[in-house]
């Protein structure tokens, strides 16, 4: 699946879930799925992960736009990379677009996944973290598969 298609699909699914939560729950409402373990809890987050940079919408929007611009600039290298790199970039970009849409339209992000031992988060956050995990794995354990080979290691001459 092309990176752009995956990113758009992730953003659409994220926005659909958030719309469903907002239209079927009241702010602060919590529905136990597994009591005291996992709840669907509707909150608004004016910051980034763990509510850091609270009410710094302009900074968070600029950071997301900058990251997406960098991905667009390096797209030709990404498209030539291994499938795990492309998957990671697509997940990361889709999650970033989903949360960026929230921030631009409302100034906050809709969070709803509540595991009770962790701050409440959303589906875009899951995509971002999973995407970054794919990117880190590729860079750390599969550097020879990246366009240009492994950084810091001389290319084998044939």
Tell me how far apart the alpha carbons of residues 80 and 145 are, in angstroms, rounded to a whole number: 10
Tell me how far apart the alpha carbons of residues 7 and 124 are, in angstroms, rounded to a whole number: 11
Which residues does 136 contact at the CB level (< 8 Å), separation at least 6? none
Residue with tokens 């290691």: 153
CA distances from 73 to 53, 114, 154, 156 (A): 27, 36, 26, 28
Query: Has 125 been annotated as catalytic?
Result: yes
Query: Has 111 been annotated as catalytic?
Result: yes
Tell me how far apart the alpha carbons of residues 149 and 128 are, in angstroms, rounded to a whole number: 25
Among 14, 102, 111, 114, the active-site one is 111
Among 14, 102, 114, 125, the active-site one is 125
List the catalytic residues. Answer: 111, 125
């Amino acid at each position: 699946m092309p990176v752009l298609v995956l990113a758009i699909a992730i953003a659409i699914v994220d926005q659909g879930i958030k719309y469903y939560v907002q239209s079927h729950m009241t702010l602060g409402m919590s529905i136990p799925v597994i009591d005291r373990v996992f709840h669907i809890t509707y909150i608004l987050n004016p910051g980034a992960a763990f509510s850091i940079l609270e009410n710094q919408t302009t900074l968070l929007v600029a950071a997301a736009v900058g990251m997406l611009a960098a991905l667009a600039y390096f797209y030709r290298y990404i498209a030539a990379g291994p499938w795990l790199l492309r998957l990671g970039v697509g997940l990361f970009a889709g999650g970033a677009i989903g949360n960026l849409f929230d921030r631009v339209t409302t100034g906050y992000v809709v969070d709803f996944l509540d595991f009770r031992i962790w701050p409440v988060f959303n589906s875009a956050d899951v995509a971002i973290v999973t995407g970054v995990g794919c990117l880190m794995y590729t860079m750390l354990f599969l550097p020879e598969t990246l366009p240009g080979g492994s950084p810091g290691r001389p290319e084998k001459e044939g």
